[in-house]
A and B are shown apart, each in its own frame.
Chain A
Amino acid sequence: MTNETLAQFPEEAKNEDSAVVFGFWMYLMGDFILFAGLFATYAVLRNNTFGGPAGSAIFNLPFVLIETLVLLTSSFTCGLSLLAARKGEARRVVGWLIATVVLGLSFAALEISEFTRLVMAGNGPQRSGFLSAYFTLVEVHGLHVLIGCLWVVALIVAISIRGLTRSNMRKLALWSLFWHFLEIVWIFIFVIVYLLGVMYP
């Protein structure tokens, strides 16, 4: 919406914002269902190791903890960028967003190194039903993180060019919902895949 029409139809603009946010929530709920399908698949195939390694043999908990901390920190910087946005400090917003994207990419890099290690040891996703389910679940999350990073980069460019316009504020809010959603999914992965995988082989 252009600023001119915004001034002309303020009530409609407000309604549009709330519709977009609600719509995005609906998308997130749908995405949750997608992950629920992958989690269910993982739960079914968890013990189908087909002579390959079980989770307890290949999961490196301290490493995963580092990954988790990196992702949680990125959630914190994401929150700080929103706080700065509320105060109207565009430069700070961009700064925190850059921090978030760096952390997000570090998380992705850690994950890729973990996967490389597994594949090199012959424990790739083709090895067994369990590993197919494990790789797919975690990779789909990782793919979401990469999409989130791409989105932040676009946001950084948009905010640098146009500042904290109404439409940029809205995009920032949506992206932060997305980013926190990924945190929540990761917590489930951490608990259900890694912790339970090591505790109950």
Chain B
Amino acid sequence: MTWNTFIFGNLSWSVFPTNAIAVGGGVFMVVAFVVVLALITYFKWWKSLWNNWLTSVDHKRIGIMYLIVATVMLVRGGADALLLRTQQATSVGASNGILSSNHFQQIFSAHGSIMIFFVAMGFMFGLINLVLPLQIGSRDVAFPFLNNTSFWLFAAGAVLINFSLIVGDFSAAGWLSYPPLSELAYSPTTGVDYWIWSLQIGGIGSLLSGINFLVTIVKKRCQGMTPMKMPMFVWTVLGSMSLVVFAFPILTATLALLWLDRTLGMHFFTAGGGGNMMMYVNLIWAWGHPEVYILVLPAFGIFSEVVAVFSGKKLAGYASMVGSVIAIVCLSWFVWLHHFFTMGAGADVNTFFGIMTAVIAIPTGVKIFNWIFTMYRGRIRFLTPMLWFMGFAVLFTIGGVAGVVLAEPAADYQLHNSLFLVAHFHTMIVSGVLFGYFAGFTYWFPKIFGFTLNERWGRRAFWAWLVGFILAFVPLYILGFMGATRRLDHYSASLGWQPLFIVAGIGTLIIALGFIFQLVQVVVSIRNRKAARDYSGDPWDGRTLEWSIPSPAPVYNFAVLPVVEARDAFWNTKQEGKSRETNFKDIRMPENSALGILIALFVFFFGFGAVWHMWWLASLGLLGSIVTVIARTFAEPEEYVISATEVALTESSLRDPSAAIAL
């Protein structure tokens, strides 16, 4: 080994991209990053940013940071989607479109990985962080420091996956990197290693978050909140997080095994040497299918809150909703094989998994009916969160029925790997998961920031998303039936597919417009924040505990920890006309810590070193993170106390229009 390979591993000048689009993306990202850093320096925000945000252990601030990272990643994943759609709309017959075959493959791999791991997971953990402790009447999560560390691990994974845009290339083996394609023999560049390590690092952050929220729900609920008095969102998060704790270790193991194959020449999934590539597919989906429910359950919870509040009624069939969450959690472990019926496991195995897949649609159907029953005879206010729900209810049902079609092994043999499948899971993830998170974002925004979002731009965004979505994905269902397979970078003009691909491309542009409307909505709302200021703390006539405290939620959340007597605890208090508790006491809160970001920085070095075989850097990163963790166990966690008088002052000024607190 020469000094050069010791220091730089596989890095060399040739790894930097030369393709115009890749260079453009990389340069854009670097410039944007530098501009942000320059602005922070120019406005002298570094100190405040560090003290109030980056090192914060406050769940609300961590939640906001998750949302910011997820939004940035949505831009990246969305740009990928636009490129893919452009390619498929133009690459027909004699034209080869704008992307090379290999680049196209990298982009769809990056699009899928980023959207699931860093957009959907990021939005999910962001929203859970923002409201879960508020809904259970707690001052924070069970482990505030761990929460900060989890966030930074998630962010480190996000940075690492974006590094592939500048240094080297990304995996061209699909978002789940099936072997043997993802093995060293067929993917000799570092692309798959980027995929492995960014998911591994982000995944460990998610696992730690899952443990944190599970313990938070079990141990930190306020007095009187028995399980059947928990808000529905809390139930769904409980289900989702228990899936995280039990599913993510499988992902950790699977990624590690693939890495061992690639790096140490082992034979877990190789084509020769006694490996078994179908084992990879089994393992990855034993994580991957629960992952779908990890994402969608919190969205179900959000809709349960939104529909009840905006219909002015209690949630219909609460007990059956709880039952269906539990049923989904259990059943989600018995359906993974429907992702590869065509593997040929045998008619008996396929039948079992086909039936289980159809069965899991039942508890989901129970939920849809309960939401509709909740709306029945309610005084429905069609505000933006409710619009997202309406869009969801229609699209999700269509996508769900498409899923039941795919659950039939016989039909699946025809539709497997077709665009019908792509349309199906995008319907579930976009209209199910993303619409749910958007509804939750609009609904809870005033609680976190102290003012409501602009309704007009919210509506525009919703309609753009809805129309765009239908235009982008209905053609894919049709194309799937016509035989178009997924991941096509070129097709023959004689097939007559191009018009449908062009419609899908236009749909994607309209979705992009919807996203821009959302950005405009946030900007307009910030500018009008004084007029839209929420002094009541309860702008929607809410039912659950988060609306009982002032907006924006103060750092300690609850001045006096609530005691719950009924389901829809806050609604109950309002009905009984109880006045607010004012017997304030001193509150102790955990101090911020810089060690979380330090741990994640070392882990990032480890990841980058492992990708490029710079083993000194990887060892340094590993050693550094271990030493930091040990140092943390020696440091007694510090706390500060907020005095009762300060609490009283904060409480009154947040609710007092004349106090005019600067937001």
Is the beta-carbon distance between B274 and A50 smaller than 8 angstroms? yes
A138 to B286 alpha-carbon distance, docked (Å): 22
Question: Pick the contact of B249 from A22, A23, A31, A154 — CB < 8 Å?
Answer: A31
Known contacts: A22-B219, A126-B267. The answer to whether A30 contacts B257 by CB under 8 A is no
Is the beta-carbon distance between B633 and A129 smaller than 8 angstroms? no
Is residue A83 contacting chain B, with contact meaning CB distance below 8 A?
A: no
Question: Pick the contact of A45 from B246, B249, B254, B274 — CB < 8 Å?
Answer: B274
Shortest C-beta distance, B337 to chain A (Å), equals 14
Question: Pick the contact of A49 from B257, B272, B274, B637 — CB < 8 Å?
Answer: B274
Is the beta-carbon distance between A19 and B142 smaller than 8 angstroms? yes
Is residue B76 contacting chain A, with contact meaning CB distance below 8 A?
A: no
Question: Pick the contact of A132 from B249, B267, B634 — CB < 8 Å?
Answer: B267
Shortest C-beta distance, A140 to chain B (Å), equals 8
Instruction: Choose the segment among A32-40, A98-106, A193-201 that binds chain B (4+ C-beta atoms closer than 8 Å).
Output: A32-40
Is the beta-carbon distance between A41 and B283 smaller than 8 angstroms? yes
Among B247, B249, B637, the most chain A Cβ lie within 10 Å of the Cβ of B249
Q: Which B residues lie within 8 Å of A128 (CB)?
A: 267, 273-274
Q: Which A residues lie within 8 Å of B270 (CB)?
A: 129
Chain A residue total in the interface (Cβ 8 A): 44
Q: Which B residues lie within 8 Å of A2 (CB)?
A: 636, 638-639
Is residue B248 contacting chain A, with contact meaning CB distance below 8 A?
A: yes
Known contacts: A45-B274, A48-B274. The answer to whether A23 contacts B250 by CB under 8 A is no
Is the beta-carbon distance between A29 and B245 smaller than 8 angstroms? yes
Is the beta-carbon distance between A30 and B267 smaller than 8 angstroms? no
Q: Which A residues lie within 8 Å of B219 (CB)?
A: 15, 18-19, 22
Chain A residue at smallest Cβ distance from B631:
A154
Chain A window 127-162, contacts with chain B (Cβ cutoff 8 Å), 1 for yes, 0 for no: 011101101100000000000001000100010000
Shortest C-beta distance, A18 to chain B (Å), equals 7
Q: Which A residues lie within 8 Å of B275 (CB)?
A: 45, 48, 129, 132
Is the beta-carbon distance between B276 and A136 smaller than 8 angstroms? no
Main secondary structure on A side of the interface with B: helix
A41 to B246 alpha-carbon distance, docked (Å): 17
Known contacts: A5-B588, A30-B207, A41-B257. The answer to whether A125 contacts B266 by CB under 8 A is yes
Is the beta-carbon distance between A171 and B211 smaller than 8 angstroms? no
Is residue B215 contacting chain A, with contact meaning CB distance below 8 A?
A: yes
Q: Which B residues lie within 8 Å of A57 (CB)?
A: none
Question: Pick the contact of A26 from B215, B220, B266, B637 — CB < 8 Å?
Answer: B215
Chain B window 246-271, contacts with chain A (Cβ cutoff 8 Å), 1 for yes, 0 for no: 11111011100100110011111010
Chain A window 1-34, contacts with chain B (Cβ cutoff 8 Å), 1 for yes, 0 for no: 1100100110010010011101100110111111
Is residue A44 contacting chain B, with contact meaning CB distance below 8 A?
A: yes
Known contacts: A128-B273, A158-B633. The answer to whether A30 contacts B260 by CB under 8 A is no
Q: Which A residues lie within 8 Å of B279 (CB)?
A: 41, 44-45
Is the beta-carbon distance between B249 and A34 smaller than 8 angstroms? yes
Chain B residue at smallest Cβ distance from A125:
B266
Q: Which B residues lie within 8 Å of A50 (CB)?
A: 267, 272-274
Known contacts: A50-B273, A129-B268, A136-B266. The answer to whether A34 contacts B245 by CB under 8 A is no
A128 to B484 alpha-carbon distance, docked (Å): 39
Question: Pick the contact of A19 from B207, B220, B265 — CB < 8 Å?
Answer: B220
Is residue A176 contacting chain B, with contact meaning CB distance below 8 A?
A: no
Is residue A73 contacting chain B, with contact meaning CB distance below 8 A?
A: no
Is residue A167 contacting chain B, with contact meaning CB distance below 8 A?
A: yes
Q: Which A residues lie within 8 Å of B212 (CB)?
A: 23
Question: Pick the contact of A126 from B218, B220, B266, B626 — CB < 8 Å?
Answer: B266
Is residue B143 contacting chain A, with contact meaning CB distance below 8 A?
A: yes
Q: Which A residues lie within 8 Å of B234 (CB)?
A: none
Is the beta-carbon distance between A29 and B268 smaller than 8 angstroms? no
A195 to B254 alpha-carbon distance, docked (Å): 26
Q: Which B residues lie within 8 Å of A41 (CB)?
A: 253, 257, 268, 279, 283
Is residue B630 contacting chain A, with contact meaning CB distance below 8 A?
A: yes
Is the beta-carbon distance between B267 and A171 smaller than 8 angstroms? no
Among A5, A23, A31, A40, the most chain B Cβ lie within 10 Å of the Cβ of A23
Q: Which B residues lie within 8 Å of A15 (CB)?
A: 219
Shortest C-beta distance, B312 to chain A (Å), equals 36
Is residue B214 contacting chain A, with contact meaning CB distance below 8 A?
A: yes
A8 to B644 alpha-carbon distance, docked (Å): 14
Shortest C-beta distance, A79 to chain B (Å), equals 22
Known contacts: A41-B268, A48-B275, A128-B274. The answer to whether A5 contacts B633 by CB under 8 A is no
Is the beta-carbon distance between A132 and B268 smaller than 8 angstroms? yes
Among B261, B268, B636, the most chain A Cβ lie within 10 Å of the Cβ of B268
Q: Which B residues lie within 8 Å of A150 (CB)?
A: 626, 630
Among B254, B264, B273, B286, the most chain A Cβ lie within 10 Å of the Cβ of B273
Shortest C-beta distance, B246 to chain A (Å), equals 5
Q: Which A residues lie within 8 Å of B215 (CB)?
A: 19, 22-23, 26
A135 to B588 alpha-carbon distance, docked (Å): 49
Mind listing 5 A-B residue pairs with CB under 8 Å? A5-B639, A5-B641, A30-B207, A48-B275, A158-B633
Closest 3 CB pairs of A and B: A129-B274, A48-B274, A50-B274
